[in-house]
Amino acid sequence: EYDGERNSEGERHGRGKARLPNGDTYDGEYERGFRSGQGTYRFQNGACYIGKYLQNKKHGQGIFFYPDGSKYEGDWVNDQRHGYGVYTYANGDTYTGEWFNHNRHGQGTYVYKDTGAIYVGGWVNGNQEGEAELIYLNHRFKGKFLNGNPVGRGKYVFDIGCEQHGEYIQSEQDKGEVEEEEEPSLLVAPKWKASEITKLTLWTPHGENPPSP
């Protein structure tokens, strides 16, 4: 069903309201038969998009409310989260930063609601990767991440005015600890191996000489 303006060729053009065969509804602007311009699209499953369209695709600025209570507000390109945007997750976590092809990708800040921890740094295809800082209530970690885990050299900076330098090592799992029924886990969290404690220094993950002890 369609109720709205049409052009001389009879195509939907201008403002209009439509109910789609699957029960979704659209209320907004059309151009030559396509959803184009500003509109509100409500899905049968309770999701809702309010924002810009171009030829039936979400394109430009828009807010998407997901059925689980999460929402994304930001840039869209060709129906994908792409550009810059803020995602608020169902558990209250938030990500603010760059998106590429629907994934967190580039530089971004992720705030964990439960712990108050904040990850500031690189992302690749949705995963924490690259140089970053993980900020806790009274200390912070500076280093590199790969697949969401810290990797290689880094340091913990404590608010009391000292630092602990070291590196994250991918630990080999002790075969003796695995119970018979359990599947041995392939991905074990990397272990922190501390090397020295110093007063505060300027240090970045890419290879300046570490301070002498």
Q: What is the model's pTM?
A: 0.85
CB 75 within 8 A of CB 83: yes
Q: Report in angstroms the alpha-carbon separations of 80 from 61, 64, 83.
A: 11, 11, 9
CB 96 within 8 A of CB 118: no
What is the separation of C-alpha 84 from the centre of its chain, rounded to a whole number of angstroms? Answer: 10
Domain 91-171+189-200: assigned CATH number: 2.20.110.10
Distance (Å, whole) CA 16 – CA 39:
9
Q: What is the pLDDT of residue 211?
A: 54
Decide whether 1-90 matches 91-171+189-200 in CATH topology. Answer: yes
Distant-in-sequence, close-in-space partners of 171: CB < 8 Å, separation ≥ 6: 188, 189, 190, 191
CB 111 within 8 A of CB 92: no
**Best CATH choice for the domain 1-90 from the list 2.20.110.10, 1.10.10.10, 3.40.640.10, 3.40.50.20:** 2.20.110.10
Q: What is the pLDDT of residue 201?
A: 75
Q: What is the pLDDT of residue 212?
A: 53
Q: What is the pLDDT of residue 135?
A: 97
Q: What is the pLDDT of residue 200?
A: 86
Tens of pLDDT, residue by residue, the chain (213 residues): 999 999 999 999 999 999 999 999 999 999 999 999 999 999 999 999 999 999 999 999 999 999 999 999 999 999 999 999 999 999 999 999 999 999 999 999 999 999 999 999 999 999 999 999 999 999 999 999 999 999 999 999 999 999 999 999 987 655 455 554 555 455 678 999 999 999 987 756 665 555 555
Q: What is the pLDDT of residue 188?
A: 77
Q: What is the pLDDT of residue 10?
A: 96
Q: What is the pLDDT of residue 170?
A: 83
- Rounded to 5, what percent of the chain is helix, strand, coil? 0, 60, 40
For the chain, the structural domain boundaries read 1-90, 91-171+189-200
Q: What is the pLDDT of residue 71?
A: 98
